[in-house]
């Protein structure tokens, strides 16, 4: 009896000690004053759990691991918005950037309806980092006005107002800007580096503006890789519009177009150079990176394109993991905001003698093989027994859907990722690492 009593007293004392440590760490109001560092947010737009399952099968086999699989913490992502059960790209990015529930059509903080971020600031977490003297970078495989990155620094009543958005991105003072979208930076009729005329209706030459603001401008992979690490500001413009051709497989085959431009760097290559430039400055930084192809190819129901885009996103995650190995005071955070196309994996029985997939499921849902409808199934990498498995891709829709998104975290404060991760928690995680405060959650919405 006495022994049991001593054990219970010891457990109570240990509990009190833990609570005391927690109080010191988090304070009475829950605000943490812990270790700070740098953060990398990778946004493989439109990707869900089934997307990662398909890529794992194809590249590593069912028993293998992607870079994504190696991230230490997992959260089930909730992407609803203030007025919608399913996110839009711009509404989701605004929630990520400000930490509050945005509306479906929101694109950053519009002057007519300014947002107050969860921290109380009138700026996004990236602009807070900029104003605190930290390094900043925006990286996108799509055009410069894509909301997954642009909503962190720009605002507009309409996401289609790319004249306003692109100019705001360049005027934002972000150190590193890598994307496509040259035609959105040049006046109508002015031919750019890639031989295509500009589309701007306001007559502003944003490339010239960028140079006046102190940006070096590069256009190709070779020019990017040749940049000295001492470069202070750089604008990389790697395509007339997107760095990929987001059309169905059948259309690309007829036009003879590749999935991605050969001369454009991948997001992994962009991130590698961005990290070299930022690390050389020896100060904390925030990188926001979006692989837009995972969304656009999936909305076009192009399985091969979606898998290639996700492969590129996974390579960028690998770059970030290697950086954290060398610089452990860094957080890697990754999440989509919705699931594009409802992509899923369909087994093809080993006993089937057919060399091509049927065009659709019994319920009418389209099926894709390696080159679109009615083509050969994908073949997985070997499992641990050496067996390779045939599979197809089934599509639910051409829209952005609400299920199956997973958030993951690795590195500094990764264990703070909530198991049920709200889209506003992306902001909370970034703010914790950059500024040392775990902010209270966004209060419930008013009716």
Closest among 356, 317, 146 to 242, alpha carbons compared: 146
- Determine the average pLDDT of the residues in 62-72: 98
Residue recorded with tokens 């389209």:
366
Give domain limits for the chain.
40-343+405-435, 344-394
Collapsing DSSP to helix, strand or coil, 352 comes out as coil
85 band by pLDDT with thresholds 50, 70 and 90: very high
| 3-state secondary structure string across 45-68 | CCCCHHHHHHHHHHHCCCCCCCCH
For residue 173, the number of C-alpha atoms closer than 13 Å in the C-beta half-sphere is: 10
The values of phi and psi at residue 81, to 5°, are -115, 180
Cβ neighbour number for residue 187 with a 10 Å cutoff: 17
Extract the runs of DSSP E, i.e. beta strands, from 216-279.
Answer: 216-218, 234-237
As a whole number of angstroms, the distance between CA 326 and CA 273 comes to 16
Q: Which token pair is 42?
A: 């990778």
Contact indicator for 421, 407 with CB cutoff of 8 Å: yes
Task: Determine contact, residues 92/338, Cβ cutoff 8 Å.
Answer: yes
Could you report the per-residue pLDDT of 382-405, keeping only the tens digit for each?
A: 999 999 999 999 999 999 999 899
Over the stretch 278-320, which tens digit does the pLDDT of each residue have?
Answer: 999 999 999 999 999 999 999 999 999 999 999 999 999 999 9
Q: How far is it, in rounded angstroms, from Cα 312 to Cα 114?
A: 35
Structure tokens at 218: 């590069």
The pairing of beta strand 420-422 with beta strand 73-78 = parallel
Q: Looking at residue 22, what is its pLDDT?
A: 39
105: closest CA among 122, 70, 81?
A: 81
pTM for this model (two decimals): 0.91
Strands 390-394 and 367-368: antiparallel
pLDDT in tens, 164-198: 999 999 999 999 999 999 999 999 999 999 999 99
Q: Which residues contact 193 (CB under 8 A, 6 or more apart)?
A: 182, 219, 237
Which value, to the nearest 10 degrees, does the dihedral of the CA atoms of residues 217, 221, 222, 228 take? 60
pLDDT of residue 443: 66
pLDDT tens track for 335-379:
999 999 999 999 987 655 456 777 788 888 899 999 999 899 999
Longest CA span, the chain: 90
CATH topology of domain 40-343+405-435: Alkaline Phosphatase, subunit A (3.40.720)
pLDDT at 330: 98
Give 84's DSSP letter: B
């Amino acid at each position: 009896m006495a022994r049991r009593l001593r054990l219970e007293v010891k457990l109570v004392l240990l509990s009190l000690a833990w609570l005391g440590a927690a109080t010191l760490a988090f304070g009475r109001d829950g605000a943490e004053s812990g270790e700070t560092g740098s953060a990398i947010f990778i946004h493989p737009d439109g990707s869900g759990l089934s997307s990662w399952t398909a890529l794992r099968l194809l590249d590593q086999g069912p028993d293998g691991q992607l870079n994504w699989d190696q991230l230490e913490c997992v959260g089930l992502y909730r992407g609803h918005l203030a007025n919608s059960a399913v996110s839009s790209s711009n509404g989701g990015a605004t929630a990520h950037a400000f930490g509050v529930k945005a509306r479906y059509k929101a694109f950053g903080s519009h002057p007519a309806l300014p947002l107050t971020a969860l921290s109380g600031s009138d700026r996004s977490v990236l602009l807070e980092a900029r104003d605190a003297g930290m390094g900043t970078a925006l990286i996108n495989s799509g055009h410069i006005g894509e909301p997954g990155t642009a909503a962190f620094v720009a605002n507009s009543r309409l996401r289609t107002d790319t004249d306003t958005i692109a100019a705001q991105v360049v005027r934002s003072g972000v150190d590193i800007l890598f994307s496509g979208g040259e035609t959105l930076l040049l006046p109508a009729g002015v031919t750019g580096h890639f031989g295509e005329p500009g589309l701007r209706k306001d007559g502003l030459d944003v490339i010239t503006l960028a140079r006046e603001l102190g940006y070096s401008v590069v256009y190709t992979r070779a020019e990017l890789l040749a940049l000295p690490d001492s470069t202070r500001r750089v604008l990389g413009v790697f395509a007339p519009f997107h760095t990929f051709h987001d059309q169905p497989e059948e259309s690309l085959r007829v036009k003879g177009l590749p999935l991605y431009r050969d001369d454009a760097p991948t997001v992994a290559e962009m991130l590698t150079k961005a990290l070299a430039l930022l690390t050389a400055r020896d100060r904390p930084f925030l990188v926001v990176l979006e692989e837009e192809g995972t969304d656009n190819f999936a909305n076009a129901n192009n399985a091969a394109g979606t898998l290639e885009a996700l492969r590129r996103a996974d390579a960028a995650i690998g770059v970030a993991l290697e950086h954290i190995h060398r610089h452990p005071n860094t957080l890697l955070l990754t999440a989509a905001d919705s699931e594009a196309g409802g992509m899923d994996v369909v087994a093809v029985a080993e006993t089937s003698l057919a060399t091509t997939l049927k065009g659709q499921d019994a319920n009418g849902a389209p099926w894709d093989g390696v080159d679109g409808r009615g083509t050969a199934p994908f073949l997985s990498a070997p499992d641990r027994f050496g067996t390779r498995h045939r599979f197809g891709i089934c599509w639910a829709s051409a829209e952005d859907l609400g299920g199956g998104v997973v958030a993951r975290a690795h590195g500094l404060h990764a264990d703070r990722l909530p198991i049920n991760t709200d889209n506003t928690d992306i902001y909370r995680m970034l703010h914790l690492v950059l500024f040392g405060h775990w902010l209270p959650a966004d209060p419930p919405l008013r009716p």
